[in-house]
Amino acid sequence: MDSPRVIENARLIDPASGRDEPGAVLIENKRIAEIATGAAPGVPEGAERIDAGGLVLAPGLVDLRVFTGEPGHEYRETLASAADAAAAGGVTTFLLMPDTDPVIDETALVDYVIRRARGISKIRIYPAAALTKGLRGEEITEFGLLKEAGARALTEGRTSLADAGLLRAALTYAKNFEMPVIHHVADASLTGDGVMNAGAFATALGLKGIPIEAETVPLDRDLQLALASGARYHTAQISCAASADIVRRALKRSDRVSCGVSINSLALNENDIGSYRTFFKLSPPLRAEEDRQAMVAALADGTISTIHSAHDPQDVETKRRPFAEAADGAVGLETLLAVALRLYHAGDVDLMTLLKALTSSPADLLGLETGRLRIGDKADLILIDLDRPWVVSDAALSSRSRNTCFQGARMTGRVVRTFVSGRTVYDEAD
């Protein structure tokens, strides 16, 4: 059994309660045993004392959208290497997307991932199960059995369900088992051959554009069906101002719907593609600067409730191609928090709102007892130095793939220590 630990002289931030004050946390039996304001509480005998030096102590991050290559494409990323990357980025829990080979669409695979992750991972990995068998968009999977096996949400991963009738049935059936549905919205017929945001820049590059309607049309449809079914529905990610307006309207009618955003859509815009840089080929595509600003505003006003990394490891073979032929996606677990802190340092979003979207909001969606500073919860915590300057180096990433959008980027603020169940799983000093 681990000996007790006290993390003292910390700035405690608990986004769920709005707490932001100096204090200390006592960890016993892997759980948060006590939270004290000011000086440390009575420290048990033999307890290890960790001086936080005034740094922020917050709940570990919960990332709703992570792709790995295991099973099927282990050369891109294994569960273990993704967990290393997560720990280094302060992510203590992530939701694994079912787009693996084979697809996570049955109980045996859910069980496999849970056992495998428990054996090798430093952090908590929960599988999301496919909404339809093989992600083919034809027949729904066994929601009830998948939930029993340990799947935490239902999703089509990278793909988007085209069949509105099937989605309606899926939402209704998911309500039956109180399973959250997290859906990526992209209409295939409106996306067409598009590979980046439609507009003047795509036209100048001679690349086919993806109109915003490819997102807004299915988003509107999804929200109507979600409201009618009463299911817990979360739009995986939105990318443009028009989508934020649609979500804003739906939120007035129900608190059973919500939406998330990729950190990339908050930090980057289509101009980052520059001269056909395939690392910036993402899904949803990077949009115009006005859209990026609208995403930041929607986060600040609560329209967007969760931020994820959209971590999607791709190897050289899938990225070193002409832009239109390259795969979508970028790694992001290790840079998620630092990039989010850019918004805080710029004065665009306050720290509490940012951390809430990275901790308790995604945890609540999945029904997890984490993402909070709460007595009795597992001690999944991070120490953040808000002002630490550093430069992203792809060679220093823990991920097996190097497709970061932030190579060479200057950051301010990073995780310096990550705890899972009270144990240190990442220490910057190591």
Partner 1 sequence: MAARKPRTRTSAASGASAPAPPPFNHRHLLGIGQLDRAEITGLLDRAEAMVEVSRRPNKHLERHAGRTQINLFFEASTRTQASFEIAGKRLGCDVVNMAVRTSSMNKGETLIDTVATLNAMQPDVIVVRHSAAGAVELLSQKVGCSVVNGGDGAHEHPTQALLDALTIRRHKGRLDGLTVAICGDIANSRVARSNLLLLGAMQARTRVVAPATLLPRGIETLAGEVFTDMAAGLAGADVVMMLRLQSERATGKLVPSVREYYRFYGLDEEKLAAAKPDAIVMHPAPMNRGVEIDPMVADGPRSVIEEQVEMGVAVRMAVLDALLTRREEHG
By CB under 8 A, tell whether 329 contacts partner 1. no
Give the largest Cα separation in the chain, rounded: 69
Considering only residues 49 through 88, tell me which ones interact with partner 1, judged by CB under 8 A: none
Q: Which residues contact 32 (CB under 8 A, 6 or more apart)?
A: 25, 26, 373, 374, 375, 376, 377, 378, 379
Task: Name the DSSP class of 2.
Answer: P
By CB under 8 A, tell whether 285 contacts partner 1. no
- Position among 171, 326, 337, 392 found at the interface with partner 1 (CB under 8 A): 326
Nearer to partner 1, 176 or 203 (CB): 203
Instruction: State the minimum distance, in angstroms, from the CB of residue 69 to partner 1.
Output: 19
- Position among 4, 15, 209, 260 found at the interface with partner 1 (CB under 8 A): 209
Nearer to partner 1, 275 or 395 (CB): 275
Reduced to 3 states (helix: H, G, I; strand: E, B; else coil), residue 307 is strand
The DSSP bridge partners found for residue 381 are: 59, 419
By CB under 8 A, tell whether 200 contacts partner 1. yes
- Judged by CB under 8 A, the stretch of 113-121, 173-181, 195-203, 250-258 that binds partner 1 is 195-203
- Position among 11, 208, 221, 402 found at the interface with partner 1 (CB under 8 A): 208
Nearest in space to 78 (alpha carbons), one of 105, 103, 104, 96:
96
Nearer to partner 1, 1 or 204 (CB): 204
Nearer to partner 1, 322 or 389 (CB): 322
- Position among 2, 139, 325, 369 found at the interface with partner 1 (CB under 8 A): 325
By CB under 8 A, tell whether 317 contacts partner 1. yes
Sheet holding 91-96, edge to edge: 61-66, 91-96, 124-130, 153-155, 181-183, 233-235, 257-262, 306-308
- Judged by CB under 8 A, the stretch of 100-108, 198-206, 232-240, 420-428 that binds partner 1 is 198-206
DSSP string, 328-377: P-BB-TTTHHHHHHHHHHTTSS-HHHHHHHHTHHHHHHHT-S-SS--TTS
Nearer to partner 1, 270 or 385 (CB): 270
Nearer to partner 1, 134 or 199 (CB): 199
Pairing relationship of beta strands 233-235 and 19-28 according to DSSP bridges: unpaired
- Position among 38, 53, 230, 322 found at the interface with partner 1 (CB under 8 A): 322
Nearer to partner 1, 273 or 357 (CB): 273
Instruction: State the minimum distance, in angstroms, from the CB of residue 110 to partner 1.
Output: 32
Task: Name the DSSP class of 158.
Answer: T
Instruction: State the minimum distance, in angstroms, from the CB of residue 317 to partner 1.
Output: 7
Instruction: State the minimum distance, in angstroms, from the CB of residue 195 to partner 1.
Output: 9
Query: Distance between CA 312 and CA 323 in Å, rounded?
Result: 17
Instruction: State the minimum distance, in angstroms, from the CB of residue 199 to partner 1.
Output: 5
Considering only residues 333 through 392, tell me which ones interact with partner 1, judged by CB under 8 A: none
Each as own residue / partner, the long-range contacts of residues 18-22 (CB below 8 Å, 24 or more positions apart, any chain) are 18/352, 19/373, 20/351, 20/352, 22/54
> In whole angstroms, how far apart are CA 75 and each of 92, 94, 266?
23, 20, 29
Number of residues that bind partner 1 (CB under 8 A): 23
Considering only residues 211 through 270, tell me which ones interact with partner 1, judged by CB under 8 A: 211
Nearest in space to 199 (alpha carbons), one of 188, 190, 210, 191:
210
Instruction: State the minimum distance, in angstroms, from the CB of residue 322 to partner 1.
Output: 3
- Position among 320, 345, 387, 389 found at the interface with partner 1 (CB under 8 A): 320
DSSP string, 92-148: EEEEEPS-SSS-S-SHHHHHHHHHHHHHH-SSEEEEEEESBGGG-SSSB--HHHHHH
By CB under 8 A, tell whether 206 contacts partner 1. yes
Query: Distance between CA 196 and CA 281 in Å, rounded?
Result: 7
- Position among 324, 388, 390, 424 found at the interface with partner 1 (CB under 8 A): 324
Contacts to partner 1 by CB under 8 A: 198-209, 211, 275-276, 317, 320-326
